[in-house]
Structures are given as C-alpha cells and as structure tokens.
Amino acid sequence: MLHDERAAAPAMATSVVPDWEQVRSRVGEPGWAADTLDAVREDFVFWQSHLRLPGPDQVSAWTHHYFCDDDGEPLRFDPGSPDEHVCPTCGRAYRGEPWDGAWRTRMHNMAAAQSQRAALLARLDGDEDRRRSAAVALAEIVDRYACDYGSYALHGVNVGQGRVLPQNLDESVWAIGLLRSVRWAGPLLAESTRAAARRLAGEIAAVLAPQLGMIHNIHCWLVAALAECAVAIGDEQLLSTVTEGPFGARNQILEGIHPEGLWFEVNPHYHFYAVNALLSFVEVAGPGALEDEHAERLLRAVQAPARLAYSDGRVPAYGDGWPNSFLGDFAQTAEVASRLLPGAGAQLASSYLGDAPAAVELWFGAGRVAGPSPERAGRYSVGAMVFGADSLHGTDDGVTPASFVWPGPGIGVLRSPLVRLAMRFGPDAGWHDHHDKLAVDVECGGWRSLDLGTSGYGADITVWMRSQAAHNLLVVGDRPQPPHDGLLVHADDRSLVAQSSWNGAEVRRTLRLTASGWTDEMEVAGVPGTALEWLFHGDGTIVAPAGPVIDLPSDDLGHGWLTDVRSLTVLDGIVAVTWDHPDAPTLRIAVPPGWTANRACAPANPTGLPLGVVAVRGLTQGTTTLRATFTREGSHA
C-alpha cells in the first residue's frame, strides 16, 4: 500500500508518508500510543454531535478578540453557545461582534481538527465500521468546504485576508488541517472527495499565493499551506516558489531564525509557531526540500528553547509570548522533528517531556482544539503517535545548566546553583517586541521575577502587559522606549554587560553572580535633568516600611495599572526591600541624592502570586549610577 500511495502523488512530491502499518502495530499494544488513539476517538465522537460549520453568510473574526478584558483569560468556547461567550475566571459574558465572529473562527478550526481525527481513525481504528464512519465524516467536511469555499467573502482587517477565516494566517492553518487529513487518508477516500480536495486546494492557493511576501511566522504558515496546495494539485512552480523563492521556506529559516536557533521574534509562542509551520512544510514537501544548512538551523530551533527554560521547564514569555509556556507544551514539535529532520535522533523529545497533565494534541496549527477526553501527562500527542520513536529515555544528568550568551537574538543567561539570571539586549524583534531593552528576568529558588508576556491582543490588560512599568528596566525621560537595537559589551560565566541608547540617554547594565545572589548596576549618561525610573518586580507583596497610599495618574508607561502604591524610605542613600515569599532575595539599591522610592502591586503575574513592584525615581546629573544588590540570606553559590 505504501508504494501505491506514493505513486498516486504528483511526481514532484516527496512527502513524508507515515508508516501506517507501524503506527497500527504501536496503537494495538497497551500504552501511551493506544491511549492517544483512544483520546482521538473520544474527541471525534464528541465533535460529531457538536460540530456546526458556519456557512458563507456568517463572517468569521479574529480569535484574539476571544479574551476577557478584565483578566486576560481566554473565553470559554461552548459549541452550543454561538452568541454568548463567558470568561471562565470572572464570569463576565460577552455578546455580539466581534466575539460571535471569533466563535465561528474557533468552530472552523474545530472542523479542520475533526478532519484529522477522522483521517486517523479511518487509518487506525480496529473496528471496520468505525473506520468506514470516520472516512465518511472526513468526506462530509471536505465536500462541504469544497462546495462552498468560493461563496465565502474575502475579508480580514489584521493580517491579510481569507475566505473561511478572517486572515491569511488562520486560512493557512485551517487549509493545512484539511489537506493534511486528505493526504493521510489517501485511497480510503472516494475519488470524488479527493477531486473535491484538489479543487479546494486550487482555490485556496489562488487566495494565499498573492499574499506571500514577508519573513514572518505568519508567512511560514502561508508557505506550508501553499506547499500542501502545490502537492495536492501537482503545481511544480508553486512548490518551487514556496521552497526557494525570496519568502520561501529556505529563506524563512535563514533570515528568520538566528544562527543560535531562536526565531527572531524571540518569544516561545511565535518561535514554536514558526517552527511548527516549517516542519509542516517539510512533512509535505519532503526533507529533500531543505539543504543541509537549512535543516541544521531548523534542528537548532527545536533544541534551543530548552537552554532558556527555568528549572520547572517554563520558557520565558518575552514580548508577545503567552505567559504560561512550558517545554512540555512543545513536546510534539520535538517528536515530529525527530522523524523529519536529518540527525535529530529519536531522543530529541526527551528534554521536552513534562509531567503536567494536558489535553492530547493534534498535529495541527490552531490552538485549543481539544475535546472532552481526559488530560494526560507524558507522550500523548498525535505527532508522537504518528512520527515519534517507540520509546524515549530521560536526559537529566543532574548537572546545573551552564551560563551562555546568544549574540544573534541578544539574550544572555547567567546560572549558578542559586540563581538563573537573564538579560535581553539584542535587535528589535518586530511587531511583537515590547521595547524593553536591557530588561532582566530571574529565578531564585522558588521565587520568580518573570517577563509577563501578553494576553489576547484585543484584551485591555494587554496594554499593561506590554507597558514599560510591567518590565524590569529603566524608563528614560518618562517616555517608552522606541524600537531600537542593543549591544553586547562583555559576557563570561559569571557576568554579563550590555548597553543601549534611547530617549537621549546611553544605558549600560552589568549583571554579576555573587556567592549569595547577584548584583545589578546601571550606568546612565544623558542630558542633566532627564527623569529616570528604575523598576523591578517579583513574586509576592513588598515587605518594607511604607507611607500612605499614593494615586498615580494613568499614562502610556503603565503606571495607572499599579495599585496600593506607597512611598518607601530612602535611608543613607539606600532603599531596602524584600518580598513575602520564602525564597525571595533581599534587595538593596543605592540611589543618588534626592531620589524617591515607591512600592506597589501589579496584575497578571504568570505564577498566580501577587506581583510586588519597587520603583526608584529621580533626575540624572549627566552621569548617574544605580547599584542594586540581591542577596538570598543564608545561601552561598
């Protein structure tokens, strides 16, 4: 059968064909693979009775609207409630547009996800009747969209346009979901359905091809979708364009991924989003579509994030990153890469295995497409089931990860047995950059000072999460940082020095590990009389004698989001505070004469704990030095 399936594809295609016989053998034995298929089956049954495909008269909308303004939580997606959308945390209900349109987008993505479940069950279910029913369900979804696609109006206001979905990104992800499912099902579908899929692929390509034109995570998805279309319809020119063209896969890798392996937008969400798109391209176009240098850099992109992670596997949410991102969330990426990328090795996924229960993931680009099947901890993903190794072995050798610096993306990490300390200093990261040069994030025992990341872009709280006051940095001249690049000055295993210039001041920040914590020094050269504000936050409420509550006005720096703002005592030029967390360090910061200090509380701490903020403020005298010492009492590195 494998030979026949390969021969049925266009001559120019070298798509990676899953070894269905091997996968059938894997799911036939008790264990994680069989449990994964059980979850796929359970979710398939649920969605067969809950799927409601919005027709061409029902316009879709941006899913970033589907977040609560008050707390940034995603709204609960209820398939039976297309016109009321509730925050699961605070209970606030949203009605009308754009939330109804975002609900429709979610439902279209559910349809593409259901098509993958159907393809898997048609291939792998042990019951003949269920296999046949799954193939029928897949055909119904494909035939419906193929029939109606041209009747959906082109629309979109954020990122290009789609017909079924509200932008070219969503349209690409949805198209990959459908076309991959048809490719996986192959001859199990009637020729009429496969012909319908080819027509649909041609129409999708006509929408997406003119919109390909950037080095960007979104355009990586366009590349992968257009590759699926090209293989489906046998268009060699289109496949060549999305492979070797100026915005094809090869250039997306070389221009979008830094040599160290981090996507240029630096945060984990968009990093893995781009990597998953590029792996989707490799799956359909074949590993031969990439030359050695492209494949090697893509492999480094899968390996690199593990070096950034905290001790519990949390990956820093720099810029517009989702704040609760863990290595385990991206284990499926490593599972798929282990099959698709030369030299990856079967154990690539070992460093990504997490112990937090999660929904069984489909190999699909849209988020939150799970059904009601129970959450599981371990290798429970379709990517692992279809592409992963039979077994994995742990890689934890008990050695503390080393300090390192990545000049390309501009990130340095200092590590000791006591602290993980990072600073970002590199080039501007595009639209998703929070303009927070020389910001730091810290782990000290169980205490964290995290980058807050972001929420849905349409949610009010995102204004806070992107603001200057939400980051551990220096505000110069009471103005946000403009887009700009920083510079690495020095790095070794115990120290990191970087500098940057913005708003008329040159700022150099020096971090050094010490026997009991670390030091943090800022040297600022600028016009005398320029306002400076040094901000630092961490887990817990600030512990220090404080004055009466101060009302801070709202501004574009984020001060209006701070609560319980109180003055702190500056004694002999020193501000001393700690946080009410058992692992919190003691902070002592030396400030110039005449400076003032405040403490405050802030929202959206990813750890779920209160976020205590300390701020010191004053005017530069031309050259100003701020020295902070963080000490973990009773500890020695």
CA Rg, the chain, in Å?
26
Tokens 């349409």 belong to 458
- Tokens in use for 29? 């034995």
Give Dmax over CA atoms of the chain in angstroms: 83
- Residues 178, 63 share a domain: yes
Interval 425-431 mean pLDDT: 94
pLDDT for position 614:
98
Q: Does residue 1 surpass a pLDDT of 80?
A: no
**63 occurs within a structural domain:** yes
Is residue 485 included in any domain, yes or no? yes
Q: pLDDT tens for residues 113-163?
A: 999 999 999 999 999 999 999 999 999 999 999 999 999 999 998 889 999
Per the structure, the count of domains in the chain is 3
At 400, the pLDDT band (50, 70, 90 cuts) reads: low
56 pLDDT band, cuts 50/70/90, is: very high
Q: Are residues 340 and 480 in the same domain?
A: no
* Per-residue pLDDT at 179 exceeds 50: yes
DSSP string covering 377-412 = -SS-BHHHHHHS-S-------SPPPPPEEETTTTEE
- Identify the residue with better confidence: 99 or 370: 99
Cα 433–Cα 438–Cα 439 angle in degrees, nearest 5 = 70
545 occurs within a structural domain? yes
Number of other CB atoms surrounding residue 404 within 10 Å: 15
The verdict on 195 and 256 lying in the same domain is: no
Give the model's pLDDT for residue 481: 98
Q: Are residues 222 and 111 in the same domain?
A: no
The pLDDT value recorded for residue 11 is: 43
Spell out the long-range contacts of 101-104 with Cβ–Cβ below 8 A and sequence spacing 24 or more. Answer: 101/59, 101/60, 101/61, 101/62, 101/65, 101/166, 102/60, 102/61, 102/62, 102/63, 102/64, 102/65, 102/66, 103/66, 103/77, 104/54, 104/58, 104/59, 104/60, 104/61
Residue 1: inside a domain, yes or no? no
H or E element, residue 283: helix 268-285
- pLDDT value at 368 more than 80: no
* pLDDT tens per residue, range 455-499: 888 889 999 999 999 999 999 999 999 999 999 999 999 999 999
CATH of residue 297: 1.50.10.100
Residue 366 domain-assigned (yes or no): no
User: Three-class SS of residue 580?
Assistant: coil
Instruction: Give the torsion through C-alpha atoms of 331, 332, 334, 336, to 10 deg.
Output: 170
The answer to the question of residue 444 being in a domain is yes
Residues 224 and 177 in one domain: no
- List the CATH number of the domain containing 474: 2.70.98.70
Q: What pLDDT sits at residue 581?
A: 98
For range 385-406, the mean pLDDT: 81
Q: Which of 432, 493, 491 is CA-nearest to residue 466?
A: 432
Q: Which of 457, 507, 455 is nearest to 484 (CA)?
A: 507
Look up residue 585 and give its DSSP letter. Answer: P
Same domain, 450 and 599: yes
- pLDDT value for 370: 84
| 420 and 513 inside one domain | yes
- Residue, of 399 and 417, whose pLDDT is higher: 417
pLDDT at 349: 87
Distance between CA atoms of 577 and 117, rounded to whole angstroms?
54
In this predicted model, what pLDDT tens digit does every residue of 301-345 receive, in sequence order? 999 999 999 999 999 999 998 899 999 999 999 999 999 999 888
| pLDDT computed for residue 458 by the predictor | 80
| Backbone dihedral angles phi then psi of residue 414, each to the nearest 5 degrees | -105, 135
Last residue of a domain, one of 195, 211, 227: 211
Which of 211, 234, 269 corresponds to the end of one domain?
Answer: 211
179 and 36 within one domain: yes
Would you say 278 and 220 are in contact if contact means Cβ atoms under 8 Å apart? yes
Q: What confidence tens digit (pLDDT) does each residue in 109-123 have?
A: 999 999 999 999 999
SS3 content of the chain, % helix, strand, coil (to 5): 40, 20, 40
Residues 481 and 434 in one domain: yes
Sign of the dihedral through C-alpha 311, 312, 313, 318? negative
The mean predicted confidence, pLDDT, of the chain is 93
Residue-wise pLDDT for 561-600, tens only, equals: 999 999 999 999 999 999 999 999 999 999 999 999 999 9
Encoded amino acid at 384, one letter:
A
In this structure, the answer to whether residues 138 and 249 fall within a common structural domain is: no
451 and 340 share a domain?
Answer: no
- Does residue 114 belong to any structural domain of this protein? yes
Residues 170 and 278 in one domain: no
Indicate whether 390 belongs to any domain: no
Query: Which pLDDT score, from 0 to 100, does residue 32 have?
Result: 95
Q: Is the pLDDT of residue 10 over 60?
A: no
Average pLDDT over every residue of 39-52: 97
Q: Does the pLDDT at position 637 exceed 50?
A: no
The strands making up 546-549's β-sheet, listed across from edge to edge, are: 474-476, 531-539, 611-619, 596-602, 563-568, 546-549
450 — pLDDT class (breaks 50, 70, 90): very high
Least reliable range by pLDDT among 252-266, 283-297, 427-441, 450-464: 450-464
**Which of residues 211, 230, 252 is at a domain's end?**
211
- Domain that includes residue 346, residue range: 214-354
CA 431-435-439 angle, to 5 degrees, is 135
pLDDT of 168 > 90? The answer is yes
pLDDT at 394 over 50: yes
Identify the band that residue 7 occupies on the pLDDT scale cut at 50, 70 and 90.
very low
Mind listing the pLDDT tens digit for each residue in 350-360?
889 888 898 99
Q: Does residue 540 sit in helix, strand or coil?
A: strand
At residue 395, the pLDDT reads 58
**pLDDT (tens digit, 9 = 90+) per residue, 501-552?**
999 999 999 999 999 999 999 999 999 999 999 999 999 999 999 999 999 8
